[in-house]
């Protein structure tokens, strides 16, 4: 209230001090105006300093996208046998794509995945095919030379059947990111081995490819992850055609040994 009254009083007193005929009265109101001005300065509130706006700190992934303690996604199992003895990668992909709503089967994927020879000669050198360039060798029969495929040709194939931007290559991420997508109802295609544990070096051999030397194992295998809990990881195994589980820490070690290769779909979770 004082903030309104005091400025009005200043105006009124200064007006009287100017127009009144009696000089003593004018002097009185002049002094009164000065007193009121001093009071006005002391009563008016200080200016509130402006608060500079700033961006909110980004919400941690663990808060914005909660990772569940345990997850199980019911995905129908597809067996790679008998048609595709080496077709674990495309069969696991078929399960993922079918769950995402794509109308495609393992045989179509086996036909369309990019392929490279098991071995070939170039410039006087003999090279082995690189599994990141395409499926190496024969996908149908163990009687013919072959190995399999890594994430790159599988991701490229998946992208052909999903909406633009919906195929997600998680290769190189840690297993917490895999759990994040599982927590949001998205199965995850991965590369592991048939023993679901870290393998000794004796299981690996060196291949000479055009891109350089790489370590490969004939134990390489692909499954579709469908869940986990504190002790186990759950997956669809195309080789047995069954839903299976393996000790969580052993499975993670096998997955990391094979290069942390993983593919899923949907909106990217940062």
Per-residue pLDDT of the chain (270 residues; tens, 9 = 90+): 544 454 555 455 555 555 655 665 566 555 665 665 555 545 444 433 333 333 444 545 444 579 999 999 999 999 999 999 999 999 999 999 999 999 999 999 999 999 999 999 999 999 999 999 999 999 999 999 999 999 999 999 999 999 999 999 999 999 999 999 999 999 999 999 999 999 999 999 999 999 999 999 999 999 999 999 999 999 999 999 999 999 999 999 999 999 999 999 999 997
For 205, phi then psi, to 5°, come to -140, 160
CATH classification of 61-265, choosing from 3.90.70.10, 3.40.50.620, 3.40.50.300, 2.40.160.10? 3.90.70.10
Q: State residue 75's pLDDT score.
A: 98
Q: How many CA atoms lie within 13 A of 208 on its CB side?
A: 6
Contacts 24+ apart (CB under 8 A), 237-245: 237/77, 238/77, 238/78, 238/79, 238/80, 238/87, 238/88, 238/91, 238/92, 238/95, 239/79, 239/80, 239/81, 239/88, 239/194, 240/79, 241/77, 241/78, 241/79, 241/80, 241/81, 242/77, 243/77
Q: State residue 59's pLDDT score.
A: 43
What Rg value do the Cα atoms of the chain yield, rounded? 36
For residues 187 and 245, give the distance between their C-alpha atoms in angstroms, rounded to a whole number: 14
Token duo for residue 34: 């000065």
Token duo for residue 74: 């019911």
For residues 63 and 57, give the distance between their C-alpha atoms in angstroms, rounded to a whole number: 12
Question: What stretch of H or E contains 142?
Answer: none
Asked if residue 216 lies in contact with residue 119, where contact means CB atoms within 8 angstroms, the answer is no
Q: State residue 65's pLDDT score.
A: 73
For residues 176 and 53, give the distance between their C-alpha atoms in angstroms, rounded to a whole number: 34
Asked if residue 36 lies in contact with residue 6, where contact means CB atoms within 8 angstroms, the answer is yes
Domain ranges within the chain, ordered by starting residue = 2-43, 61-265
Question: Of 79, 120, 95, 145, whose CA–CA distance to 210 is shortest?
Answer: 120
Identify the DSSP state of 15: H
Question: Of 227, 210, 217, 197, whose CA–CA distance to 73 is shortest?
Answer: 227
Rounded to two decimals, what is the model's pTM? 0.77
- ∠ CA 43-45-49, rounded to 5°: 160
For 115, phi then psi, to 5°, come to -125, 150
Q: State residue 270's pLDDT score.
A: 78
Asked if residue 244 lies in contact with residue 235, where contact means CB atoms within 8 angstroms, the answer is yes
For residues 187 and 196, give the distance between their C-alpha atoms in angstroms, rounded to a whole number: 18
């Amino acid at each position: 209230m004082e903030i309104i009254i005091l400025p009005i009083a200043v105006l009124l007193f200064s007006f009287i001090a100017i127009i009144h005929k009696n000089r003593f009265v004018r002097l009185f109101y002049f002094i009164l105006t000065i007193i009121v001005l001093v009071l006005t300065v002391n009563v008016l509130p200080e200016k509130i300093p402006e608060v500079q706006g700033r961006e909110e700190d980004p919400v941690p992934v663990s808060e914005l996208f909660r990772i569940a303690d345990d997850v199980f996604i019911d995905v129908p199992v597809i067996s790679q046998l008998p048609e595709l003895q080496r077709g674990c990668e495309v069969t696991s992909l078929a399960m993922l794509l079918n769950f995402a709503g794509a109308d495609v089967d393992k045989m179509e994927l086996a036909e369309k995945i990019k392929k490279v020879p098991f071995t070939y000669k170039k410039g006087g050198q003999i090279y082995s095919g690189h599994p990141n360039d395409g499926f190496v060798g024969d996908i149908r029969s163990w009687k013919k030379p072959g190995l399999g495929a890594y994430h790159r040709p599988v991701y490229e194939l998946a992208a052909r059947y999903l909406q633009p931007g919906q195929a997600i290559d998680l290769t190189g991420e840690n297993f917490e990111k895999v759990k994040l997508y599982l927590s949001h109802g998205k199965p995850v295609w991965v590369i592991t081995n048939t023993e679901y544990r870290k393998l000794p070096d004796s299981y690996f051999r060196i291949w000479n490819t055009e891109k350089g030397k790489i370590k490969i194992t004939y134990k390489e295998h692909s499954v579709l992850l469908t869940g986990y809990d504190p002790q186990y990881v759950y997956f669809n195994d195309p080789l047995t055609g069954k839903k299976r589980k393996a000790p969580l820490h052993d499975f993670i070690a096998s997955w990391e040994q094979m290069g942390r290769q993983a593919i899923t779909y949907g909106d990217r979770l940062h």
